[in-house]
Amino acid sequence: LKSLQVAQGKAKTVRDEAGAKVAAAQRELNEAKQATDDLRIVKSSIEAKVASTQKDLDKTFVLNLVRKFELSGQIDKLNQAIKEQDKKIEKAAKVEDKYLQALNKQQAYAQKQGEIADGIVQEATKAGNKIKESAEAKSAKLLQDGQKQAAAATKSVEGKIKNLLRDADALEKQYK
């Protein structure tokens, strides 16, 4: 029983450690996804600024060349920022993919550790059952031996009682 409890404790420890690694990998993946989402939000914001600036450019009077040149420059800078953001998003997506692969590996590892833990408990259960069966067999043998000894002692005592009764009867007849 004690060995089974120890095995169950070890199995729980193995499962808990594997579960902690899976949880850590999941947190890292979630953080990477959040970073990628944040970059996409920034890109959307820049794209909205490009659209707004383009609208202003389209509304600007044809002969207002300074304003048109200024707005065109802003659009070019914003488009460059979008390209930079795309590169960051691409890198973040790669990082996210690596974290996803790490999570999958940790989940597979946790699965294997769970199987190992199950094996530990099964082995301890088998060992415990063998010990129990052995103890029950020894107990049954001792009980059987005890019953035989008790029967032999009872028979011996009964024989002695018969002899004493016979001797008592003989003495009674002698004194009558």
Q: Which long-range contacts (CB under 8 A, 24 or more apart) does 95-98 make?
A: 95/32, 95/35, 95/36, 96/29, 96/32, 96/33, 96/35, 96/36
CB atoms within 10 A of CB 110: 20
Per-residue model confidence as pLDDT tens for the chain (176 residues): 677 788 888 889 988 999 999 999 999 999 999 999 999 999 999 999 999 999 999 999 888 899 999 999 999 999 999 999 999 999 999 999 999 999 999 999 999 999 988 988 888 888 888 888 888 899 999 999 989 998 888 888 888 888 888 888 888 888 76
CB atoms within 10 A of CB 117: 20
With a threshold of 0.85, does the pTM exceed it?
no
